[in-house]
């Protein structure tokens, strides 16, 4: 499965012949100046929550690609008012089978609002089953013990977890979360973008390694092949 990093918490995933895009935030990101947002492909845009560092490029990418936007009911309603019509509303605990695979929306312990102050429902994350693999994209979240429930239903091949602290889990919490979700391959997100969340990469790698886990810190613009 091909995973491309566009910075912060924005990833593109090519699976089952479709392009999935998570949390489009590129143009305001100083670290992603070399990424042309107008070249990012998307058949589906999955949104974890409404905060600007996850939605800044949402409208432009949705309008250009006509991708199906998968988001909470509240964001769905807000997008409708912006003239977006290709959407699928979800809420925590619900699942839906799309043509690329199955998505379950997972609760996240975080807040959520849109740039204009509109309440955006609960923050969330997703477990996605596609292309013979299963992964968890937690979105912005604190560590919460109900992450263990994911393992009741899913065997994860890899997971995207925030590691930048201040607004989300830090490296230590992400290591604990990896245990909760029984997943050894973690792609880090939500770090370095701005001053509050800068991290020491070498130290983060060392801590994950000594916990028997693999931490992947991708370069912005890099594409990797993730295998089970």
Which one of 43, 129, 140, 173 is in contact with Ni ion (CB under 5 A)?
A: 140
Residue 130 bridge partners (DSSP): 101, 133
In the structure encoding, which two tokens stand for residue 83, read together?
Answer: 């003239």
> What is the nearest approach in angstroms of Ni ion to the Cβ of residue 51?
4
Pairing label, strands 18-22, 44-46: parallel
Phi then psi for residue 25, to 5 deg, are -145, 100
Listed ranges 28-36, 51-59, 71-79, 93-101: which one lies at the site for Mn ion (CB under 5 A): 51-59
Residues between 114 and 133 with contacts to Ni ion, criterion CB under 5 A: none
Rule CB under 5 A: is residue 23 a binding residue for Ni ion? Answer: no
Distances from the Cα of 42 to the Cα of 30, 51, 86, 177, 187, angstroms: 22, 20, 12, 29, 20
Which one of 140, 170, 173, 192 is in contact with Mn ion (CB under 5 A)?
A: 140
Listed ranges 17-25, 59-67, 121-129, 140-148: which one lies at the site for Mn ion (CB under 5 A): 140-148
Which residue of this chain has its Cβ atom nearest to Ni ion in the complex? Answer: 51
Rule CB under 5 A: is residue 23 a binding residue for Mn ion? Answer: no
Distances from the Cα of 134 to the Cα of 15, 38, 71, 164, angstroms: 11, 28, 19, 24
Rule CB under 5 A: is residue 170 a binding residue for Mn ion? Answer: no
**Binding residues for Mn ion, total number by CB under 5 A:** 3
Which one of 43, 53, 129, 157 is in contact with Mn ion (CB under 5 A)?
A: 53
Of 19 and 193, which has the nearer Cβ to Ni ion? 193
Rule CB under 5 A: is residue 51 a binding residue for Ni ion? Answer: yes
Listed ranges 46-54, 97-105, 113-121, 174-182: which one lies at the site for Mn ion (CB under 5 A): 46-54
Of 43 and 53, which has the nearer Cβ to Mn ion? 53
Rule CB under 5 A: is residue 190 a binding residue for Ni ion? Answer: no
Binding partner selected for residue 43 from Ni ion, Mn ion, none, CB under the kind-specific 5 to 8 Å limit: none
Of 18 and 51, which has the nearer Cβ to Mn ion? 51
- Which spans of this chain sit near Ni ion (rule: CB under 5 A)? 51, 140
């Amino acid at each position: 499965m091909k995973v491309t990093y566009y910075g912060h918490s924005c990833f593109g995933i090519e699976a089952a012949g479709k392009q999935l895009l998570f949390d489009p935030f590129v143009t305001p990101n100083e670290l992603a100046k070399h990424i042309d947002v107008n070249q990012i492909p998307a058949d589906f845009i999955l949104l974890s929550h409404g905060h600007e560092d996850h939605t800044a490029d949402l409208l432009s990418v949705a309008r250009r690609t006509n991708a199906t936007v998968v988001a909470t009911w509240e964001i769905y309603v807000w997008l409708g008012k912006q003239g977006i019509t290709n959407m699928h509303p979800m809420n925590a605990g619900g699942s839906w089978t799309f043509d690329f695979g199955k998505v379950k929306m997972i609760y996240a312990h975080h807040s959520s609002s849109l740039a204009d102050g509109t309440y955006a429902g609960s923050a969330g994350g997703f477990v996605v089953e596609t292309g013979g693999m299963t992964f968890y994209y937690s979105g912005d979240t604190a560590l919460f013990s109900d992450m263990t429930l994911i393992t009741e239903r899913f065997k994860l091949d890899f997971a995207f977890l925030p590691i930048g602290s201040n607004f989300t889990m830090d490296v230590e919490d992400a290591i604990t979360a990896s245990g909760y979700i029984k997943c050894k391959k973690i792609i880090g997100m939500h770090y370095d973008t701005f001053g509050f969340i800068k991290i020491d990469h070498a130290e983060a790698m060392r801590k994950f390694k000594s916990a028997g886990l693999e931490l992947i810190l991708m370069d912005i613009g890099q594409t990797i092949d993730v295998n089970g």
